[in-house]
């Protein structure tokens, strides 16, 4: 399985070492002791406990001689309170490594715990980049979805307790030392999770490919992520037990996470946050459904079109994106979005952090048109 990494951008990742293979969770203890650790805190959620992944992880840690503690109360879209609860649970423990085991939420809470343990305060104090105080505990990230790509990023996305804004809190030290990618762990995802997390990965690949900040490194990561998703996403939805395809999606997610780290995101992500805030649309569903519309809009700029063409000719690219949205079967979830809210959504989208990185200027009026076109397209793709 290591061969899958030799030709991949993941094989060259230095800050976060990638360990990949079926059943590699069994080597978690070896990886932790390799960092000099003696006492691990496993940060996870009840669903991951229920499917047995936490037992497997902890058995490996104990077999390698580590003491093991567990925080299993992570919620989806974690808030500052989630991180504070994790920090409080670990307060009296002499832990020396954090294991983020689960979706992006668990990995992000583990990162957040490292910030608070070293520097105190609340997550809002660490909004931005490079604000960690002192030395952060090392993190091993073990994703069970493919996914957010958080395992390859130095940012934790945490929701502000009062304003419900997404706080992006990053520091080079917060990035995982090791990402353990075990395709077997992704077999237990419900179909809908495979669908929405896969669309998120697709959006990460396509948006990071063209941002204003992109560079040669992000281009290589985005290209690899896109090819893996295009070849495997519709298939993995039809054949969820195909381990090879699951592995490809897990690598795609990590590649796309690495691409974002160098390149940021664009207008589809700007459009998603207001849809989530006002209409509770799942993030992956929102970004995936926005993607064909955003690509058509951006491709009207020649230099952006040229970059898209490196992925696929524009018409073909849009066809691939629409095929993925249709295969995911989630376009109907936009059906309850009230078009009367478009001016509000558009105004808020223009204020999102990600909008500034979109390769074509995009203001409130543009976003209003994009939302209209997106909703039209969703009606078509849902039928
Ligand atoms: Fe995303």
Asked whether residue 46 falls in the same domain as residue 108, the answer is yes
Q: Distance, CA 260 to ligand 1 centroid (Å)?
A: 9
Residue 2 pLDDT level (bands cut at 50, 70, 90): low
Asked whether residue 61 falls in the same domain as residue 210, the answer is no
Q: Distance, CA 275 to ligand 1 centroid (Å)?
A: 13
Nearest to 22 by CA among 56, 68, 70, 66: 56
pLDDT of residue 1: 52
Asked whether residue 206 falls in the same domain as residue 179, the answer is no
Q: Distance, CA 59 to ligand 1 centroid (Å)?
A: 32
| Mode of pairing for the β-strands spanning 139-143 and 128-129 | unpaired
Q: Distance, CA 42 to ligand 1 centroid (Å)?
A: 24
Q: Distance, CA 356 to ligand 1 centroid (Å)?
A: 16
Q: Distance, CA 109 to ligand 1 centroid (Å)?
A: 17
Coil, helix or strand for 128?
A: strand
Domain stop point among 185, 209, 240: 185
Which residue range(s) make up the domain with 69? 3-185
What is the residue-averaged pLDDT of the chain?
96
Asked whether residue 167 falls in the same domain as residue 33, the answer is yes
For the segment 346-374, the average pLDDT, to the nearest whole number, is 96
Asked whether residue 175 falls in the same domain as residue 236, the answer is no
Q: Distance, CA 269 to ligand 1 centroid (Å)?
A: 6
Q: Distance, CA 267 to ligand 1 centroid (Å)?
A: 11
Q: Distance, CA 290 to ligand 1 centroid (Å)?
A: 12
Q: Distance, CA 88 to ligand 1 centroid (Å)?
A: 29
Q: Distance, CA 62 to ligand 1 centroid (Å)?
A: 34
Q: Distance, CA 252 to ligand 1 centroid (Å)?
A: 13
Q: From residue 14, how far is each of 106, 258, 321 by CA, in Å? A: 23, 11, 31
CATH classification at residue 354: 1.20.1090.10
Residue 166 pLDDT level (bands cut at 50, 70, 90): confident
Asked whether residue 195 falls in the same domain as residue 325, the answer is yes
Q: Distance, CA 295 to ligand 1 centroid (Å)?
A: 16
Domain stop point among 135, 168, 185: 185
Nearest to 208 by CA among 199, 220, 196, 192: 220
Domain stop point among 145, 168, 185: 185
Q: Distance, CA 365 to ligand 1 centroid (Å)?
A: 23
pLDDT (tens digit, 9 = 90+) per residue, 186-223? 999 999 999 999 999 999 999 999 999 999 999 999 99
For the segment 312-326, the average pLDDT, to the nearest whole number, is 97
pLDDT (tens digit, 9 = 90+) per residue, 220-241? 999 999 999 999 999 999 999 9
Residue 134 pLDDT level (bands cut at 50, 70, 90): very high
Q: Distance, CA 258 to ligand 1 centroid (Å)?
A: 13
Q: Distance, CA 284 to ligand 1 centroid (Å)?
A: 6
Asked whether residue 180 falls in the same domain as residue 267, the answer is no
Q: Distance, CA 272 to ligand 1 centroid (Å)?
A: 9
Q: Distance, CA 73 to ligand 1 centroid (Å)?
A: 23
Asked whether residue 314 falls in the same domain as residue 366, the answer is yes
Distance (Å, rounded) from C-alpha 333 to C-alpha 138?
39
Dmax over Cα atoms in the chain, in whole Å?
60
Asked whether residue 156 falls in the same domain as residue 249, the answer is no
Q: Provide the whole-model pTM.
A: 0.95
Q: Distance, CA 135 to ligand 1 centroid (Å)?
A: 28
Distance (Å, rounded) from C-alpha 166 to C-alpha 185?
27
**Cα dihedral 49, 273, 160, 358 in deg (nearest 10):** 110
Asked whether residue 198 falls in the same domain as residue 158, the answer is no
Residue 163 pLDDT level (bands cut at 50, 70, 90): confident
Q: Distance, CA 217 to ligand 1 centroid (Å)?
A: 19
CB-facing half-sphere around the CA of 352: CA atoms within 13 A: 30
CATH classification at residue 113: 3.40.50.1970
Q: Distance, CA 268 to ligand 1 centroid (Å)?
A: 9
Coil, helix or strand for 142?
A: strand
Asked whether residue 79 falls in the same domain as residue 160, the answer is yes
Q: Report the domain count for the chain.
A: 2
Q: Distance, CA 152 to ligand 1 centroid (Å)?
A: 13
Asked whether residue 154 falls in the same domain as residue 18, the answer is yes
pLDDT (tens digit, 9 = 90+) per residue, 22-54? 999 999 999 999 999 999 999 999 999 999 999
């Amino acid at each position: 399985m290591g061969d899958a990494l030799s030709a991949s951008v993941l094989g060259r990742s230095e800050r976060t070492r990638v360990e990949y293979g079926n059943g590699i969770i069994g080597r978690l203890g070896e990886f932790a002791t390799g960092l000099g650790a003696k006492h691990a805190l496993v940060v996870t959620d009840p669903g991951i406990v229920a499917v047995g992944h936490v037992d497997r992880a902890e058995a490996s840690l104990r077999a390698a001689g580590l003491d093991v503690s567990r925080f299993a109360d992570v919620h989806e879209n974690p808030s500052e309170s989630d991180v504070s609860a994790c920090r409080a649970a670990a307060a009296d423990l002499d832990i020396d490594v954090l294991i983020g085991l689960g979706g992006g939420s668990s990995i992000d809470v583990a990162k957040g715990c490292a910030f608070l343990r070293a520097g105190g305060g609340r997550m809002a104090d660490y909004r931005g980049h490079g604000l960690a105080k002192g030395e952060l505990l090392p993190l091993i990230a073990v994703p069970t979805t493919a996914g957010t790509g958080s395992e390859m990023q130095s940012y934790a996305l945490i929701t502000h307790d009062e304003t419900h804004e997404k706080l992006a809190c990053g520091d080079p030290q917060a990035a995982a030392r090791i990402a353990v990618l075990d395709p077997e762990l992704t077999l237990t995802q419900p179909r809908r999770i495979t669908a929405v997390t896969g669309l998120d990965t697709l959006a990460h690949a396509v948006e990071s490919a063209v941002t204003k900040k992109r560079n040669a490194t992000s281009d290589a990561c985005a290209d690899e992520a896109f090819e893996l998703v295009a070849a495997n996403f519709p298939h993995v939805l039809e054949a969820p037990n195909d381990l090879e395809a699951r592995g490809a999606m897990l690598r795609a997610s990590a590649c796309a996470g690495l691409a974002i780290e160098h390149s940021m995101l664009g207008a589809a992500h700007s459009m998603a946050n207001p849809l989530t805030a006002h209409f509770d649309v799942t993030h992956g569903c929102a970004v995936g459904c926005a993607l064909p519309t955003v690509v058509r809009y951006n491709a009207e700029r020649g230099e952006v079109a040229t970059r898209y063409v490196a992925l696929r000719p524009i018409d073909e690219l849009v066809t691939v994106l629409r095929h993925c949205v249709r295969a995911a079967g989630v376009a109907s979830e936009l059906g309850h979005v009230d078009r009367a809210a478009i001016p509000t959504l558009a105004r808020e989208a223009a204020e999102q952090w990600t909008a500034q990185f979109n390769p074509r200027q995009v203001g409130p009026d543009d976003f209003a048109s994009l939302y209209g076109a997106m909703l039209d397209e969703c009606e078509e793709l849902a039928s």
